[in-house]
Amino acid sequence: MIESNTKIVQSLYEAYVSNDEDAVRQILSDDIQWHIPGNHPLSETKKGLNDVLAFLSQLNKASFQASSNVVGYNDQFVIDFHRNWSKLDGEDNLNNMSCLLWKIENKKIVEVFNFPEDQHKVGSSFKKVYTNE
């Protein structure tokens, strides 16, 4: 079961990259909470599947990408250390490291905590992209 938790997280990355909302819905709990720290338009705790899906969709506006580098896990949690970046033409793009702590219950992701390397850098980047929505 422990190793299957890492596969659940990997499946979410794959579904996100391929914009497969149906697959994302199968992986996330209906009452998921996703904690986004900081002081920018996307920061807050996203509550529920629809709120998290809207957040993931918003990340596409910044051509947001992520590449997992290191994963640790136990029977309930996966911690994922990854690089994330944006790919916007003519912009000062984000290039940052982050850790995500994924809580998994009954083969569904129920809670995510985001720990960025440089919260100020993430906040500045997101403010540029999302302030005028």
What's the pLDDT tens digit per position in 44-102?
999 999 999 999 988 877 777 777 777 888 989 999 988 887 877 776 777 888 999 99
Domain boundaries, the chain: 2-117
What is the identity of the amino acid at 79? I
Average pLDDT, whole number, for the chain? 87
pTM over 0.85: yes
Contact by Cβ (8 Å): 29, 13: no
Please report, to the nearest 10 degrees, the dihedral formed by the alpha carbons of residues 15, 116, 106, 32 taken in order: -80
Q: Does the structural domain 2-117 have CATH classification 3.90.1150.10?
A: no
> DSSP E strands: which ranges in the chain?
28-36, 44-47, 65-73, 77-85, 95-105, 108-116
